[in-house]
Structure 1
Amino acid sequence: MNPPSRILVYGVHGSGKSTLAHLLAQRLGLPWYPVDDLLWEPRWVEVPVAVQRSRIEAICRRERWILDGAYHGWRDVPLARADLVIGLDYPRGLSFRWLLRRTMNRLSTGEIICNGNRESLSSVLSWDSVLRWHLTEYGKERRRMRAWHQDSSGPPVLLFDTPQALERWLAGLPR
Structure 2
Amino acid sequence: MSPPARILVYGVYGAGKSTLAARLADRLGLPWYPVDDLLWQPGWVEVPVPQQRSRIEAICRRDRWILDGAYHGWRDVPLARADLVVGLDYPRWLSFWRLLRRTLRRLSSGEEICNGNRESLGSVLSRDSVLAWHVTAFGRARRRMRAWQADPSGPPVLLFRSPAALDRWLADLPR
Q: Give the shorter-chain TM-score range.
A: over 0.9
CA separation in 2, counterparts of 1:106 and 1:170? 27
Measure how far apart 1:113 and its partner are. 1.2
Measure how far apart 1:174 and its partner are. 2.4
Query: What RMSD over aligned residues (CA atoms) do the two structures have, in Å?
Result: 0.5
Any conservation in 1 of the 2:3–2:174 contact (CA below 8 Å)? Answer: no
Amino acid at match of 2:71: Y
CA separation in 2, counterparts of 1:168 and 1:152? 25
Aligned length in residues: 175
Q: Once the two structures are superposed, what CA deviation does each residue of 1:126-160 show, in whole Å capped at 9, x if it has no partner? A: 11110000000100000000000000000000000
Gaps of at least 5 residues in structure 2 are: none
Within a 5 Å distance, the mapping from 1:87-126 to structure 2 comes to 87-126=87-126
Gaps of at least 5 residues in structure 1 are: none
Within a 5 Å distance, the mapping from 1:146-165 to structure 2 comes to 146-165=146-165
Runs of 4+ in 1 over 6 A off after TM superposition: none
Amino acid at match of 2:100: L
Within a 5 Å distance, the mapping from 1:5-84 to structure 2 comes to 5-84=5-84
Q: Classify the secondary structure of the residue corresponding to 2:8.
A: strand
After TM superposition, the score normalised by the length of structure 1 is: 0.99
Identity of aligned residues (%): 79
